[in-house]
Structures are given as C-alpha cells and as structure tokens.
Amino acid sequence: MRQERDDRDAARGQILALGELLVDLIPGREGMRIEEAGPIIKTASGSAGIFACAAALLGGCGGFIGKVGNDSLSRMVMRTLKEYGVDLSCVTHSNEGQVGLAFLEYLPEGRNYQYYRKNSVGSLLRADELDEDYIGSAYAVHFPGMLLELTPQMRGACERMVEIARKKGVMVSFDPNIRQELSADACARERMLWAVRHADVVAPTLAEGRMITGEEHMGEVLRALHAMGPRVVALTRDKDGLVLSRDGVAAIAYGIDEKAVDPTGAGDTLAAALCVGLKEEMPLEALAAFCNCAGTLVITKKGAIGMALPTRSEVDAMAASGVCRVECVPLESLA
C-alpha cells in the first residue's frame, strides 16, 4: 500500500482548470466602442483558459477541463491552448452549440464587457462528463466562482470536481471572481461560501474578501478566510500588491510601479502562479514576489492569452530585479 501511494504521488503534477473557453473581441482602434463599426482582434479567453495557459507558461503543466463545440472559433481557442502547451486530453467535444463571445471596450472608467454566451457550449459541461482518474492524478484543480452561477450543468461539474479532488487528496484552488450580475441572491452567496469552505487555496481581491467575510480590515479578512477552511490565502490589492498568508505568517508584497494598460487576466495569472509556486514548494516570501510579479506583468499589455501572459523567465527576471518588496509578519499582528 505504501509503495502504491508513493507511485501515485510521484505521478501527480498537472495543475488543472475547469471552466468555459471564450473568444474575446478586442477593439483594434484606440477608444473604439462596441457600438461602432471597425477592426477587432480575436483572442482566446475565459478565466479558466487564461489560468491554464498561465500555469503552462510558468512551468506548472497546465491542463484544461471543459466543453467545446465543432465550430471554427472553438477550433481557434483549442489550437491556441495547445500551442501554449496546455493538456486538452479531457476536453469534451459536442454539437450542443458554439463557443461564447465577449466583446470588450476600454472606457475612461475602466473595461466594459458585453457577453454573448447564453447556452454556449462551454457553459453546458456536466458532472458526468468529468474523468475521475484524470482529476485524481492532478496536483491541483482550480475553478472561478462565476461558474457556480453560469448554468446548473456547470455548477454540478464544479461540485463534482471538488468532490473528486477532496476524495483523492488533490489541492483545490478557488478564485471567488464575484460578479454582481451573477451573484445577486442569498443562494448564490451560499454557493460561493461552500466553495471557499472546500478550498485549500483562495485568491480573492480585498473587496471580495470583505464581501465574503463581512470584515473590513485586511488582517481580519485574512484570519476570517482561514477560519473558513483554506490553508493558503492570497488577498490581492490591485496597484498595492498582495498579501499572501500561510501557516500563521503573512507576506506583504507591495505594489510594483508599472503602468496599468489592461487588467484582463491578472487575477487568473496570479492564481496560476500561486499553484505553480506551491507545487515547487517556494518559501512564502519568494512565493509572494513570484505571484505579485506574474500578476503585474499581465496588466502592462492589452488582452490576455496570446497577447499579455508572461513567460516564466520574464516573471523570474522581475522578481530577481528587486522591484517587488516583500515583508513577512505574524498573521495575528496584522491589522
């Protein structure tokens, strides 16, 4: 039995993301609005797809679990993920529909997305389409919270993946990814809280952490999140960096002075870096810098997959440059 367990643990290595792949349609002209005619740039997207590509680029053996159609744009996003080295061996192919679209515009007050994804093929992944052996052999599984409100089918797939991972001893990573249009009732909140309680790793923004816990100050938010179950918490603070907490210690990674061009994919990339760093058993201080640098590099370019995701060498170079200052303090002392 001992040898069998050792062999199984040695085989673990992939960092898997479950979710929906999309096509982002980005303005090809500065200041262009969605309502205007004009050139657009197509790029593969979707939170879980960005995570999987980022994990692969950062050396984490990324894999994607989801459903795609037989349409041309489904083939485009699949080809893109494959080029990034993402394992697609457990993607379901279906004639149920087409891949969803997301039109993007950049406004003075920030980004605006308009989604065309109702009954998209990616949102119809079912629990019975998951491969238990594939999930059970992974190092970690990850999913964004908005999936819980996307469709009943996708919700069931998320719940089943978590059930398998918990049974098999696979690390569960969760990004609350709270969106007001998808989380407007008490039932949605309970589903999100269920995910936090069943996760080993969570990576909310400070605003999301406050919403989840009801606490206001950063230290209180972190301690409340740990009390819910996660052993690792990455609390992101936009331009102010992040606070990474584990084993009673908080590593405060201060903001890096880089011009923010587009935040698309920054949170997904940071979450992927966190899983990669945990897999590599990075010390807490180094892990905080690694995650902060990965997320920061994404915001310096527009778009995400194929346009803005950093390579491992780029992240390592930024971390080694010393631009990311990290301070470690006892979690109990953090206000």
Element (H, E) at 153: helix 152-168
pLDDT of amino acid 2:
29
- The mean pLDDT value for 281-291 works out to 98
Q: 247 and 205 in contact (C-beta within 8 Å)?
A: no
- The mean pLDDT value for 93-114 works out to 90
pLDDT of amino acid 3:
33
For the whole model, what pTM was predicted? Answer: 0.93
* HSE-up of residue 65 (Cα within 13 Å, Cβ side): 30
pLDDT of amino acid 251:
98
pLDDT of amino acid 9:
39
Residue 176 has pLDDT above 90, yes or no: yes
Share of the chain above pLDDT 70, in %: 95
pLDDT of amino acid 12:
62
186-214 pLDDT tens trace: 899 999 999 999 999 999 999 999 999 99
- The mean pLDDT value for 216-237 works out to 97
Residue 327 has pLDDT above 60, yes or no: yes
16-56 pLDDT tens trace: 999 999 999 989 898 899 999 999 999 999 999 999 999 99
Q: Could you state, in order of their start, the residue ranges of all structural domains in the chain? A: 2-333
* Mean pLDDT for the chain overall: 92
For the four alpha carbons of 162, 226, 176 and 138, in that order, the dihedral sign comes to negative
Fold of 2-333: UDP-N-acetylmuramoyl-L-alanine:D-glutamate ligase (3.40.1190)
Share of the chain above pLDDT 90, in %: 82
- Among candidate residues 115, 131, 45, 40, the one with its CA nearest the CA of residue 81: 45
- Band of pLDDT at residue 260, cut at 50, 70 and 90: confident
- The mean pLDDT value for 317-328 works out to 97
Eight-class DSSP state of 87: B
pLDDT of amino acid 209:
96
- The mean pLDDT value for 58-63 works out to 94
- Band of pLDDT at residue 248, cut at 50, 70 and 90: very high
Higher per-residue pLDDT: 107 or 134: 134
Element (H, E) at 93: strand 92-93
pLDDT of amino acid 16:
98
Q: Which residues, at least 6 apart from 83, have a Cβ–Cβ distance to it below 8 Å?
A: none
